[in-house]
Structure 1
Amino acid sequence: MRPDVRRWLHSRTFAAETWAAPDLVAVKGTRGCTVSVVLPALDEERTVGTIVATIRDHLVERCPLVDEVVVVDSGSSDRTAEVAAAAGARVVAADTVLPRHGSRPGKGEALWKSLHVTSGDLLVFIDADLVAFDPRFVVGLLGPLLTDPTVGYVKALYDRPLTTTDGIVPSGGGRVTELVARPLLNAFWPELAGFVQPLSGEYAGRRELLEQVPFVSGYGVELGLLVDLAALAGLDALAQVDFGTRQHTHQADAALGRMAGQILHTALARRPGAGRPKRELLQFLRTADGLEGVSWDVGVVERPPMRSVRAVEGGRRGRA
């Protein structure tokens, strides 16, 4: 292991149990900062309501650590927006935010637009498909940011059980991480090799940093943020927190292939001296007539830093 990675792992990897919500409320008051929790969502009516209700109950009403809970809905066809609103979230339709800039599909688009419709100094991003959500995800991610002013971005790490027809494989999830993201980071950004879950969907950061980097519109957003924020603020401004286990829904292999294509596209676009990679991914389906090739566009769109957008728009952040 590289000495710089070993040092970073020792000094910037924390246990979620290190912090308790009441203690962080006191620190937050001393710092004079505010917190926004954002859930990007697309057809997550089964889980989003429980997550929102849990955050509001534990971290807004019982213990005022969180100032606003916002669900950015990316055009759900189910009752995601209705369920989230009923649970106490402010729901924003992604395609109504910054309409002059159009609307792109993908999680990264929702996260980018959330910067424009929230007001917190610290932002916590939580996937809307978590099962058995625990409020300590929010508490743990905020811990390093509130207690150490030199930390600017925090990612969650955890084991991801994979449910299969043969039962539950304790650490079988994270296939795209192990097959694509980790090899890419070790090859091109070895200083970031210490991140256990570089693609984790739970992370938090300071607005002042998040608004200075681009957001990739699709599934490459996590890798893009990791690489860009490390370049902007330095490795020691990044940290990770261990949450033990995370349960969520899993996607089919073909969908994971398209996800991997977007992540690869994002990485190659950032590789020093590299040109833009090809956008097409060819996958195969077996039909009654034989094999059929299906082409997917896995190209990603770089949304510009929100700070530059706001300068042009001349507007303030906050409610849409």
Structure 2
Amino acid sequence: MRPDVHRWLRRRTFSAASWSAAELADARRAEGTTVSVVLPALDEEATVGAIVTVIRDELVLRAPLVDEVVVVDSGSADRTAAVAAAAGARVVDVADVLPAHGRVPGKGEALWKGLAATTGDLVVFVDADLVGFDPQFVVGLLGPLLTDPGIGYVKALYDRPLSTTEGIVPSGGGRVTELVARPLLNAFWPELAGFVQPLSGEYAGRRELLEQVPFVSGYGVEFGLLVDLAALAGVDALAQVDLGTRRHGHQSDAALGRMAGQILQTAMARRLRGGAPAPELLQFLRTGDGVEAVSWDVGVTERPPMRTVLAAAGAQGRRR
């Protein structure tokens, strides 16, 4: 493992259990900091209401940590907007925010419009399809931001149980992460190899930073934000928090293929300079003490076309 990644992992990896909602509510009140939570949603009536209810009950009313909860509806065909509003969220339609800029499809568009539709100094993004949502997710993401002014962006890390026909596999999911995002980061942005869940849909940041970087319209948004914010503020301004376990719906292989394509496009657009990819791949295992990094050498050697080898050998023989 690279020494800089090892140092970053030790300094910038936290546990959500390190903070309580009441403690952070006091901290943000003392600082005069405001907090917005944004949920991008498309046809999530089955889950969005419960998430909004938990955030409002626990983090708005009981411990005043959050100032506003906004659901950005991307044109749902179901009752997502009505359910979210009934639970206490302010619901905005993606088409009604910054209408002069039009509308493009994709999750990143909802996040970008959500940034425009809110006012908090700190903005927390939470996917609207989570099952069994725990308010400590929001608490954990806000912890580093409210206790360390040097941290500007925080990503979630967690186990992702994978639902199969044989039941729930405790540690699974994250197929696009393991097959696309992690290899790309390790190869071309190895300083970011320490992020356990680079594509996590739960993260928080300071508005002053988020407003300085572009938001990719589709599923490449998380990858783009990670790379761009590291370039803007430096890797040490980024952190990750262990939230434990995250449960949500899983997509088909075809849908994941489209997601992977958008992530690849996002990465290619940011690879403006050349250079050989780094040969190390960092992967992570859950242990009793948290997560353990395991390093693999995935470098490859490219042999020349056989015709050129044989031609060179023949020429050498003729010279003899």
Q: TM-score, normalised by structure 2?
A: 0.85
Looking at structure 1, the residues matched to 155 and 182 of structure 2 have their Cα atoms a distance apart, in angstroms, of: 15
Q: Which whole-Å CA distance do the structure 2 matches of 1:84 and 1:178 have between them?
A: 33
**Equivalent residue, structure 2, for 1:28:** 28
Q: Please state how far the C-alpha of 1:272 moved relative to its aligned partner.
A: 2.5
Q: Distance in 1 between matches of 2:66 and 2:114?
A: 16
Q: How big is the alpha-carbon RMSD for the aligned residues of Structure 1 and Structure 2?
A: 0.7
Query: SS state of the match for residue 218, structure 2?
Result: coil
Q: Point out the structure with max Rg over C-alpha.
A: 2
State how far apart, in whole Å, the 1-side matches of 2:242 and 2:265 are: 28
1:106-157 alpha-carbon deviations (Å, 9 max, x no partner):
1100010111110100000000000000000000000000000000000000
Amino acid of the structure 2 residue aligned with 1:207: R
Q: Which residue is 1:186 aligned to?
A: 186
> Residues 177-256 of structure 1: matches in 2 within 5 Å?
177-256=177-256
SS in 2 for 1:70: strand
Greater displacement, 21-30 / 1-10: 21-30
CA distance in 1, matches of 2:89, 2:25: 21
Match of 1:118 in 2: 118
TM superposition outliers: structure 1 runs of 4+ over 3 Å: none
Q: Distance in 2 between matches of 1:95 and 1:188?
A: 35
Match of 1:138 in 2: 138
Separation of aligned partners in 2, 1:172 and 1:141: 22
Structure 2: how far apart are the matches of 1:19 and 1:219? 30
The Cα shift of 1:245 comes to 0.8
Partners in 1 of 2:63 and 2:244 — Cα distance? 23
* Distance of 1:32 and 1:45 partners within structure 2: 34
Task: Give per-residue Cα distances to partners, 1:4-32, cap 9 Å, x unaligned.
Answer: 00000000000110000111011101111
- Following superposition, the deviation at residue 83 of structure 1 comes to 0.1
d(CA) in 2 for partners of 1:118 and 1:2?
39
Cα deviation for residue 2 of structure 1 reads 0.2
Q: Deviations over 1:55-108 (max 9, x none)?
A: 000000111000000000000000000000000000000011111111011110
Matched residue, 2:268: 268
CA shift digits 1:182-205 (9 cap, x unpaired): 000000000000000000000000
Aligned equivalent of 2:54:
54
Residues 159-178 of structure 1 deviation map (CA, whole Å, 9 limit, x = unaligned): 10000111111111000000
Partner of 1:159: 159
* Aligned counterpart, 1:291: none
SS state of the match for residue 229, structure 1?
helix
Report what 2:282 is aligned to.
none
How far apart in 2 are the matches of 1:134 and 1:100?
37
Shift of 1:51: 0.1
State the distance in 1 between where 2:62 and 2:170 align: 33
- 1:273 deviation in Å? 2.9
- 1:216 partner SS: coil
1:9 aligns with 2:9: yes
Gaps of 5+ in 1: 275-320
Name the residue aligned to 1:300: none
How far apart are residue 243 of structure 1 and its match?
A: 1.0
TM-score (norm 1): 0.85
2: distance between equivalents of 1:188 and 1:144? Answer: 27
Q: Partners in 1 of 2:114 and 2:46 — Cα distance?
A: 22
Equivalents in 2 of 1:156, 1:100: separation in Å? Answer: 33
Aligned counterparts of 1:214 and 1:259: Cα–Cα separation in 2:
18
Partners of 1:231 and 1:30 in 2: how far apart?
31
Amino acid paired to 1:84: A
